[in-house]
Each structure stands twice: as structure tokens, then as C-alpha cells.
A = this chain, B = another copy of it.
């Protein structure tokens, strides 16, 4: 290894260690910290984050990148070293384009604006949040202006989460999805709620069953924790130390821990499956938001809501909950899958979910670069919701105030959720071609071969390649909505026939 590369790796290890320390602080804050800790934890996080940023944007890092690049000495473009130099150069150039003052202003605004959003949502008071949203939009436009002009001003925002993805490509996928999803929801979403959906599902039983499922999927005790929190998430501190979280709603099967555990386990298996040689480098995490979400949704939905999965797991699951005593497997399976028009994105079924995202993708572009004034957001949200899903929010709490993302300055993030859904089925189809016994294995509670296929094709590469390059080895090809639409159509047809 060249001296410059060795030195670059040393510097990046140190910066990655700081970023990891920040993630430990965040996990602790959300999962373990007594309330009293809130007063100083923000300061601890700001210090660690600022030091990591300052160390990274130094001139010396840029020089090391160029020297290391010139000394790669014919290392193939797929080698860890070549990818490290390439990805680091891209991250560094992007970070250097944003003036430190703007960066600091965005960070500060984001934490204050999230507080304002939380209060506004609690009080159903959009007007109090509007000035924060205006200010966030202004800073986001200044952020976009830091980058060279692109085909679409939304591109740099999308690129933060989905390296190299074009807005035009997302638009093409979503335009194909919208009418098809609306049709599926209209045709299948008219049933009354099943009475057993509201439980009770006692927390301790949920917990024990969630641990059983997480371990079965591959989240071994040696490498994974599972804890409870308010808004479940997954984080990791190395490929060998992954933290899953879940929540335990006792009166709503959809919000029970079982699905959120499988969702976060999907994220966690992706992190755990990374090549350990990438630990302590910027390559040691999932490739992109959409690819990460493709894995959480693959394990939660494609596997975890399949009839085969519940053939294996339903006997144990039903034993735990008296309310399910007389509920047949097929009835249960239909209840956790069928469309039901809903106002809240995070509670949406698989079919409706995409419409929630399509709504946000359109509105955030109109807010940033189009004709939509923030004062008109609630009405336009409600009109569009009525058109897409067929129901109108009675208040903003269940309308444009429901998600934290805009409060947190996360513009460009929403579409990756639905791209993840699309990719999950695309990848699953390729897996089925190589592992034809996959469904038979699921029915036996055996997930090892599925994990190994995904690890070999996707997980082990970490962040070495672009999303498109990453899914190529799985031969899934460029993003394509057709497998996903076929999957939803088949599922809805099978539910109707059941």
C-alpha cells in the first residue's frame, strides 16, 4: 500500500471513529438516556460532529486523496482501495462545496425546527410551524445553489441519499406506479377492519416473539441487540455490533413489535453483512437509503408478510395471544396484507404506502422550486391525498404535519422509501431465480441461504459502489417498477381468492 493511502486510511479511520462515537451517543439518547441527560447531550453531539467535519474537510485530506489516487498502481476499480479513494473524493468535494457557515446554520436550524414541528403536531397548529418550514426551504435552496447546475434542481438533494440517482428516473418510476397503485387500492380497499387487529397484544409476549424472529432471521445475540424506543430505527457501530430497536403497541397489530422488528432486522442484516475489512472506513455502511430500505422491506414485507412465513410462525404467534385463538391462518394473513386507505404513512399497508410517498415527492419539489407557497400546503396536501388515496385528512396532524422529515430538513429522502419497495421485489425475483427453494425454506423458518445470497450479492460491498453498480451483481438491472407491480397484483389477487 502506498504511503499516501496508508495515511489516508489512518485519517479516515479516525474520522469514522468520531462519527461512530456520535452514533453511539444518538443510540444512547433514544434508547437508554434518562430524560435529564437531554440538557447536555445535544452539546456532546454537536462537538463530536463538528470535530469529525473539521477533520474531514481539511486541505490535507484532499491532497492525500489525490496522491493516493495517483499511487493506486493499477488496482482494479472494484478493489477496496480504489473505491475508498473514489468515494472519499466524492464525499470530500461535496462537503467542501458547502460553506461552513451554511452547514452550521442548517444543523442548528434543523434541531430547533424539529422541536417546533413536534409542538405544532401535538397542537395541530400548522401556522406555528410555517415560519420554520419557510426558513428550512430557504436554506435548502442555498444548499442546492452550492452545486453545479443539473438537469433538475432536486438532483443534489436526492444525491445526498441516493448517489448518482436522477430526479427524472424517480419521476418515471412514480408515474408508472401512481395509476396502478390507485387502481389496486380502489379495487381491494373496501373491507371493514377485523376485530382482532386491536388486540390486546401483551408487550412481554410481543417481546419474546420478536426476539425469536430476529434470531431466526439471522440477528445473532453475539452481534445484535434489540431494545425498545418511540420511533424504531437501526444503527450499527461496526459490522459486528448492530443495534435494532422496536416498539410495543398493545392495541394495534400493525404497530406491534413483530413487523417493526423484522423491518429493523432487515436494515441490521445489511449492516452486519458488510465486509469486516471495511470497518472504520467510510465504506462500512449500506450503499444508499433506497438500497437500505429495500432490505428492511424485503425482510419485513416480501418475507415477513408472506403466507409461507406465517405457515412457519403463526402457530407460535397465535399461542401467545388469546385474541387470535379462533383466527385462522388465512384470515390473519389477509389482515396484515390487504389494502386499507389510510391517512398515516407509517401505518400504511404495502399497496397504499407508495401513494403516500408519491404525494410527498411531488409536494416537496413544488415547495422548493415550484409554485407552492407554504401557506397553501395544508390544502394542497389534503386535495392531493383525496385524489390519490380517496380520503381527506380531517386535520393537519394527520395531514402535512405527520412526518418529522421536513422539520428536520430532510428533503430528497422521501422517494427513497418507495424506491426501496420497488427494489426489494426486483432483488427478490433475482434471488428466487438462484434460490428456487427460498419459499420452502421460509416455510421451515430457515433463512440462512437467503441471507447468504444477499450478503454475497449486496451486503458485503458496503458503500463501495453507486446504488446502480451495487445492484448489478445481483443482476437486478436498473430500477424497474414492473416486478413490484406484478408482486402487488399477485398478492392482492391471492388475498381476494382466499
Contacts and interface: CB of A to CB of B under 8 A. Distances in A.
Contact of A43 (B17, B33, B221, B276): B17
Main secondary structure of the interface of A (DSSP, over half): helix
Given A24-B25, A225-B34, A17 B48 contact: yes
Contacts of A13: 43, 47
A39 B238 contact: yes
Nearest to A22: B21
Contacts of A222: 34-36
Interface in A257-313: 276, 279-280
B21 A241 contact: no
Interface in A1-57: 13-14, 17-18, 20-22, 24-25, 28, 32-37, 39-41, 43-44, 47-48, 51
A223 interface: yes
Contacts of A117: none
A485 B163 CA distance: 71
Given A28-B28, A238-B39, A21 B34 contact: no
A119 interface: no
B41 A237 contact: yes
A242 B28 CA distance: 13
A353 interface: no
Contacts of A17: 43-44, 47-48
A32 B32 contact: yes
A280 B37 contact: no
A33 to B, nearest CB: 6
A221 B25 contact: no
Given A28-B24, A221-B34, A47 B238 contact: no
Interface in A435-467: none
A240 interface: yes
Q: Which of A17, A18, A238, A242 has the most CB of B within 10 A?
A: A17
Interface range, A side? 35 or more
A413 interface: no
Interface in A195-249: 221-225, 237-238, 240-242
Given A24-B28, A48-B17, A280-B43, A34 B224 contact: yes
A410 B252 CA distance: 54
A141 B39 CA distance: 42
A35 B25 CA distance: 19
A240 to B, nearest CB: 3
A37 B221 CA distance: 11
Given A18-B51, A44-B237, 18 more contacts: A17-B43, A17-B44, A18-B48, A21-B48, A24-B44, A33-B241, A34-B222, A34-B224, A34-B225, A34-B242, A36-B238, A37-B240, A39-B238, A39-B279, A40-B238, A41-B241, A43-B280, A48-B48
14 contacts: A13-B47, A14-B51, A17-B44, A17-B47, A20-B44, A24-B44, A28-B28, A34-B240, A36-B240, A39-B240, A40-B241, A40-B279, A41-B237, A48-B48
Interface of A: 13-14, 17-18, 20-22, 24-25, 28, 32-37, 39-41, 43-44, 47-48, 51, 221-225, 237-238, 240-242, 276, 279-280
